[in-house]
Structure 1
């Protein structure tokens, strides 16, 4: 119990870390409410084809990464992180409100292809705030703080999704996720407005980068950095593919439905939390890229077998390797990318966005190809295999670098 409680102490003692923690819990509740159901909403409610939905995923990914990279560079360039968080939060509220009020295919497309992707920098900006606030703490505490913050994003899944399971069992429509998510987005925006530290008045040093926008882009495109981001792309893509495939597989499996989506994702997300909280004890003993590869192998088992076992009781056994692997690949690539950019958290957030773009593009392409050639099982298997290869390539790159090649 002490192992699980200890990482929270420095967060509770620091106002900025407390804010980051609350925002991540709220953002996690929003993600748990929306993410598992978007694919099912697109196909079953708004009657999009698999190909059209894949195209929407690609368009959304390109815009999301463009916004995240641009906002990340501007945040380092101008040190105006609060303003950028407010702008991004405004896009989040606008996107959710558009679907809730519009109730149409075009409202869905406008929100999920344009407005919500423009809010995509929020996740990175919250972690940039957490990283900067953690810089005032002893260095030995920082890995635990970062892992705990990421665990707090996963924590709501164990609570929110079982609630949705009960709600959907009563016959509630899937569209109910939009007004609930809109309320969460409004709360997020309000907390950011009131409590986010004012730009230029933080307790920690946050100097302007001194780089032009073009110089910031060139820094991100440096080949040794870019090749590592691309290697991590399929790792992130496996997480996105799980979200897409899970909703569609359970919706298409006789005897399964929205309540099973909620339970599976809730159990998986909830079990990730204790694994994440235990990671700081493991990190000093295992080289990070090796740990990422191990985590990806575990997660690949869960992803590849999910469509094959969905109709059987054995599908619930996949939660264990999925949670253990997910705890690693949801935390360690993020820390790895932030460390690549050193003292510039905005650029680190941009690298996270680039990883997301590569992952989302791979997810969309894998889903489209696999679904067309062999159904959801082939899509999941392809994504799992590519992710293990990507994690292995990253491990190999860093081993060569350590040997001086």
Structure 2
């Protein structure tokens, strides 16, 4: 629990922790169901959903890297975060007021990639705030921040399992998500640290956009980025396919999706808090490799065990491997780009 202590006493860490909880709640409300909404509710089909994922992912990467470079270049973190929460409100509001395939494509193909900037900005804020604490505490602080993202999955998804079991419509996730986004917007507008007035050193990088891109293209960074991107695919794929595998045809449904994802996230939390101690005993790259193998076992088992009671046995490797994949690659990239906190977080 000592890793959580600075989150209560440090205002910037408290803000990052609170907003990470809210972002986790919004993500777990929508994340597991986007694929089934695309394929079944709005008729995009498997191919259409695949195209949407490619477009949204490419846009997300471009926006994240561009915004990260700008934030480090001009020290404009507050402005970028405001754009992110604005896009989040617009996406959720559009799907709440005008649900349909056009709104769905606009929300998830264009607006949510911009909204996802918030995730990187929260990590950048937490890392910079953690830099004012003793070095021995920093890894534990960042692990606690990451665990707080997973924590809402434990509480929120079982509630959705009950709601869906009682017949709630899948589209209910959007108005609920919109209500959750409102306090996040207020926190950004009122309490996000003003650029240039922070307790930590945050000088602009002074690099041109071209020079910053060249820095990312250097083999030292690019090769590691490609490798860690491939590693992180395991977590992304499992999230994308879960609701397409646990379908009524095999006796499953949205309630099972919520329950499975919620329990996996619950298992991730204690494993995430253990990661800093494990990283002191094992080389970080080997730990990432081990986590990847363990998590891939759970993903590979999903199609084969989805319709059997053995499905629930996959939750342990999913939680253990996922905790590593969702914690260490972020820390690795932030350390790799230590002088560029926003760019490092955006990667």
Normalised by the size of structure 2, how large is the TM-score?
Answer: 0.98
Which among 88, 91, 100 is matched to residue 87 of structure 2? 91
State the shift of 1:253 in Å. 4.0
Aligned mates of 2:258, 2:60 — CA distance in 1: 26
Contact 1:69/1:349 (CA < 8 Å) preserved in 2?
no
Query: Are 2:68 and 1:67 aligned?
Result: no
Normalised by the size of structure 1, how large is the TM-score?
Answer: 0.84
Contact 1:253/1:311 (CA < 8 Å) preserved in 2?
no
Contact 1:253/1:310 (CA < 8 Å) preserved in 2?
no
Q: Which residue of 1 aligns with 2:154?
A: 158
Q: Which residue of 2 aligns with 1:274?
A: 270
Aligned mates of 2:271, 2:145 — CA distance in 1: 13
Which among 24, 27, 33 is matched to residue 31 of structure 1? 27
Task: For structure 1, list consecutive stretches of 5 or more residues without a partner in the other structure.
Answer: 353-405
Query: Are 2:193 and 1:214 aligned?
Result: no
State the shift of 1:168 in Å. 0.5
State the shift of 1:252 in Å. 5.0
Query: Are 2:235 and 1:239 aligned?
Result: yes
State the shift of 1:194 in Å. 1.2
State the shift of 1:62 in Å. 1.1
State the shift of 1:235 in Å. 1.6
Aligned mates of 1:335, 1:42 — CA distance in 2: 33
Q: Which residue of 1 aligns with 2:167?
A: 171
Which among 15, 20, 31 is matched to residue 19 of structure 1? 15
Q: Which residue of 2 aligns with 1:139?
A: 135
Query: Are 2:323 and 1:320 aligned?
Result: no
- Give CA deviations for 1:46-104 in whole Å, capped at 9, x if unaligned: 11110010000000011111111111011001111111111111011111111111111
Aligned mates of 1:160, 1:74 — CA distance in 2: 35
Which among 158, 172, 178 is matched to residue 182 of structure 1? 178
Aligned mates of 1:313, 1:55 — CA distance in 2: 33
Aligned mates of 2:203, 2:123 — CA distance in 1: 17
State the shift of 1:196 in Å. 0.8
Aligned mates of 1:251, 1:39 — CA distance in 2: 12
Aligned mates of 1:175, 1:210 — CA distance in 2: 45
Q: Which residue of 2 aligns with 1:76?
A: 72
Q: Which residue of 1 aligns with 2:50?
A: 54
Task: For structure 2, list consecutive stretches of 5 or more residues without a partner in the other structure.
Answer: none
Q: Which residue of 2 aligns with 1:400?
A: none
State the shift of 1:120 in Å. 2.0
**Stretches of 4+ aligned residues off by more than 2 angstroms:** none
State the shift of 1:254 in Å. 2.2
Which among 125, 130, 138 is matched to residue 129 of structure 1? 125
- What is the correspondence of 1:372-383 to structure 2 with a 5 Å cutoff? none
State the shift of 1:223 in Å. 1.5
SS at match of 2:246: helix
**1:240/1:295 CA distance change after superposition, 3 Å:** same
Pairwise CA RMSD: 0.9
**1:165/1:245 CA distance change after superposition, 3 Å:** same
Q: Which residue of 2 aligns with 1:386?
A: none
Aligned mates of 2:7, 2:81 — CA distance in 1: 20
Q: Which residue of 1 aligns with 2:333?
A: 337
Which among 291, 296, 300 is matched to residue 287 of structure 2? 291
